[in-house]
A and B are shown apart, each in its own frame.
Chain A
Amino acid sequence: MASRGRGRGRGKWPGGGYDHPARHTPHEDFPEIALPEMTCARATVEEKAMIVATLKFEDFWRNSCYHLEEDAPKKKNDDKEIERYSDRKRKTQSKREALSSYLKLTPANFPAELVQGSKRGQASNKKLRWDRGSDDQPFEVFEKLEEKHKEGDKKTEKDGDDEDEHEEEEVEEAESSDDDYNQNIEFDDDDDDWNQEEEAHEDYYD
């Protein structure tokens, strides 16, 4: 009985955890850590081209008809006359072309059980998008960058103190790119069009 009060508060109490309570912190997938300095070789010209090509491929597939939506209706004879609210919402999110426009759905190419009942060949001579959408955007960005570059050049030519302007610009750029990461890969991630406005795509439905 006398020992009733003694157990509490002592760090060495075997069963208790009062002095070191468990802390619940939210799980972080990618916690910020201090990264070591990058010592590997910089990207060669060929490697930069490969990175751009990779981004282009990934972008193409994400927007292609091959990227299947999880809750998209699979019946091809959906009632399109009655437009549901969820259809309208889906339309604004993604405008994918039909899978059957690109796949040659015949028993000569695919297992018979997969092509039974599907439309054979293309429904009509619709002009397919292929990857025109993803092609145009990088070109637009390249053009914009070129224009900006030209404007910048023109401005420096117009001013009398050309060299000073250049130096000032260079110094400004150097100050802004104080991050280690900016030193190495200098090209712009033009294929990353996350922050660009989507083009108005035509609707291609079956």
Chain B
Amino acid sequence: MVSQHGILLAVSIISDHFGPLVSKVCGCLLRHGALPLQEIVRRLELSPGQVKNSLLVLIQHNCVQAFNSPRGSGDKTATHYLANFDNILHRQRFSKFLSVIRADIPESEALLEGLLQNGRLTFDQLVERTISKVPEGSITPSREEIRMNFNKLVFAHYVERCPKPEPFFDPLVDEQSTSTRKRAKTVEIALSIDKKVVNTASLSDAERFSEIPYIMEDASNANDSTHSSIAGTKRKHNALEVDAELNSTIAENEVLWRANFEKFIFCLKKKFCADRKKPKLKVGTHPIWEAFFEASLIERDNNSVTSPINGILERVGQKEGGTLMTLDHITRVLEELNCNPSSEDPDSFILDLSRIVEASQNEEIIDTTILDKQIVYGTLYKLLKDDYIETERILSGTGTGNLQFFVWRVKNTFREQFIDNLYHAALNLRQMVNYIADLLLEGSKDDTKLRNRKNILILALTRHDDSLMLFNGF
């Protein structure tokens, strides 16, 4: 379950974006877990119409996943709705996702923006939106060009087909995942029900990232002109053409597409790890470190980066001083940087990001330190007050009198409390931004000053979000 301030933060985000009505429904689901429609109506005392519309908006924006589950005994089933906390929090990172695309596939940035703004769209809707936003006098891009730019996003896994709207899931049955998605690591930790529902709803990788097929528009004309002698072949060609056309039509008109948040978080994780280690790198190893990340292939799991040696060599050669480096030197440096030859492909190097993430979470802690007594008392008192540590009094009866000692230890709920405080800080920043926005709305003499303050707070929130991702996301 999500912590108290995590829920408040999520509700605040939904309220800002979609209004108080939708945020009430969202808050109810976050607090009570998956619920059927009638239960939400009963708890919130709203009309069914209001709750339905709220759920439509939340599903459209990937904040809620519905599933069909048995109700009571017998064959009856009911639709349950489950809030997706991670996806709600991702909403305050959309600008970071856009910056990832701006660096990688800038020509597709506008398409991604459309998907982030609207949650889910068909390709047709994206085309309509693209054409409507073309300024007067500018050249309208062709449908083919838009399809090409869109397929680039799909190929790179930035965009995916939406999951099933209402899969069947029985929480009481400990079922194996029936999807054919590959998982790089065997999942030893029992998945929560939330994760199981999401997995059940997901399509297979092949289907999820299946691009929009390209159909030759004058293919039928070409066939007529070939004068195929075998009538059966011609008929077969036509049948295949019809199938292909149908697939293309479905992919363009019927299929809903959305941004693949997993991929974006992985890109941000890569960038974080790459930047984190840079200050600690030895002189001369920067080009190799950067080249390794630039040469990375499409990963199958979200915890490691794999790069082929040829790609690394090519990019190292383009950097300053890179041409002088030998293969041996580069290989040695890579191994020093924990980039080890991959067991699956000996010509590739693989780096486990989770180690860098964990190290960043723990930072370097010195075993012993010498501090002034007052500072120690003050620090211990603050930590105790914030509920991070606990103490125990131990009486010792040795010696002439009774001595008492206080021993201290970190509470085992430390991590949860810490993350909750991170959420609390983000919530406070959001509230402050909204407060200033209200002041601006009322009108004031210090408009510029208020706007600048608002920008600084948004900047603080953006940077603080990096910490949120580090402790709950990467």
Which A residues fall within an 8 A CB radius of B?
29-30, 38, 40, 43, 46-47, 49-51, 53-55, 57-58, 60-62, 64, 66-70, 74-75, 99, 102-105, 107-114, 127-128, 130-132, 135, 179, 181-182, 184-185, 187-189, 192, 194-195
Q: How far is the CB of B201 from chain A (nearest CB, A)?
A: 12
A57 x B117 contact (CB < 8 A): yes
19 contacting pairs across A/B (C-beta < 8 A):
A50-B96, A50-B462, A51-B459, A53-B94, A54-B462, A55-B458, A66-B61, A67-B18, A68-B50, A99-B53, A103-B56, A104-B122, A111-B79, A128-B128, A181-B452, A181-B453, A185-B459, A192-B454, A195-B440
A53 x B47 contact (CB < 8 A): no
Q: Point out the residues of chain A lying under 8 angstroms from B96, CB to CB.
A: 50
A68 x B440 contact (CB < 8 A): no
Q: How far is the CB of A105 from chain B (nearest CB, A)?
A: 8
A75 x B452 contact (CB < 8 A): no
B449 x A179 contact (CB < 8 A): yes
Q: How far is the CB of A26 from chain B (nearest CB, A)?
A: 16
Knowing A109-B256, A195-B443 touch, does A182 contact B448 (C-beta < 8 A)?
yes
B459 x A69 contact (CB < 8 A): no
B256 x A57 contact (CB < 8 A): no
Q: How far is the CB of A29 from chain B (nearest CB, A)?
A: 7
Knowing A30-B432, A61-B18, A69-B19 touch, does A74 contact B50 (C-beta < 8 A)?
yes
Knowing A70-B20, A132-B132 touch, does A103 contact B435 (C-beta < 8 A)?
no
Interface on chain A toward B: helix, strand, loop, or mixed SS? loop
Q: Point out the residues of chain B lying under 8 angstroms from A185, CB to CB.
A: 452, 455-456, 459
A195 x B99 contact (CB < 8 A): no
Q: Point out the residues of chain A lying under 8 angstroms from B265, CB to CB.
A: none
B99 x A110 contact (CB < 8 A): no
A74 to B47, CA, bound (A): 9
Knowing A60-B117, A192-B451 touch, does A181 contact B456 (C-beta < 8 A)?
yes
**Does B52 reach chain A (CB closer than 8 Å)?**
yes
Q: Which of A105, A109, A189 contacts B455 (CB 8 A)?
A: A189
* Residue of B with least CB distance to A38: B456
Q: Which of B17, B79, B99 contacts A49 (CB 8 A)?
A: B99
Residue from B49, B122, B128, B455 having most chain A Cβ neighbours under 10 A? B455
A195 x B447 contact (CB < 8 A): yes
* Residue of A with least CB distance to B38: A113
Q: Point out the residues of chain B lying under 8 angstroms from A47, CB to CB.
A: 459, 462-463
B94 x A182 contact (CB < 8 A): no
User: Which of chain B's residues 155-207 have a Cβ closer than 8 Å to chain A?
Assistant: 162, 165-166
Q: Point out the residues of chain B lying under 8 angstroms from A50, CB to CB.
A: 95-96, 98-99, 462
Q: How far is the CB of B436 from chain A (nearest CB, A)?
A: 9
**Does B441 reach chain A (CB closer than 8 Å)?**
yes
**Does B57 reach chain A (CB closer than 8 Å)?**
yes
A128 x B132 contact (CB < 8 A): yes
Q: Point out the residues of chain B lying under 8 angstroms from A187, CB to CB.
A: 455
**Does B212 reach chain A (CB closer than 8 Å)?**
no
Knowing A51-B95, A61-B117 touch, does A99 contact B56 (C-beta < 8 A)?
yes
Q: How far is the CB of B48 from chain A (nearest CB, A)?
A: 9
A54 x B458 contact (CB < 8 A): yes
Q: Point out the residues of chain A lying under 8 angstroms from B463, CB to CB.
A: 40, 47
A130 to B56, CA, bound (A): 18
Q: Point out the residues of chain B lying under 8 angstroms from A74, CB to CB.
A: 47, 49-50, 52-53
B55 x A194 contact (CB < 8 A): no
Q: How far is the CB of B190 from chain A (nearest CB, A)?
A: 27
Knowing A54-B95, A111-B166 touch, does A43 contact B459 (C-beta < 8 A)?
yes
Q: How far is the CB of A75 from chain B (nearest CB, A)?
A: 7
Q: Point out the residues of chain A lying under 8 angstroms from B165, CB to CB.
A: 107-111
B454 x A108 contact (CB < 8 A): no
A75 x B454 contact (CB < 8 A): no
A160 to B56, CA, bound (A): 65
B462 x A58 contact (CB < 8 A): no
Knowing A57-B95, A60-B117 touch, does A68 contact B53 (C-beta < 8 A)?
yes
* Residue of B with least CB distance to A188: B451
Q: How far is the CB of B42 from chain A (nearest CB, A)?
A: 15
Knowing A29-B435, A30-B432 touch, does A66 contact B455 (C-beta < 8 A)?
no
Q: Which of B21, B53, B66, B133 contacts A130 (CB 8 A)?
A: B133
Q: Point out the residues of chain A lying under 8 angstroms from B432, CB to CB.
A: 30
Interface bits B41-85 vs A (CB < 8 Å: 1, else 0): 000000101101111110111000010000000000001000000
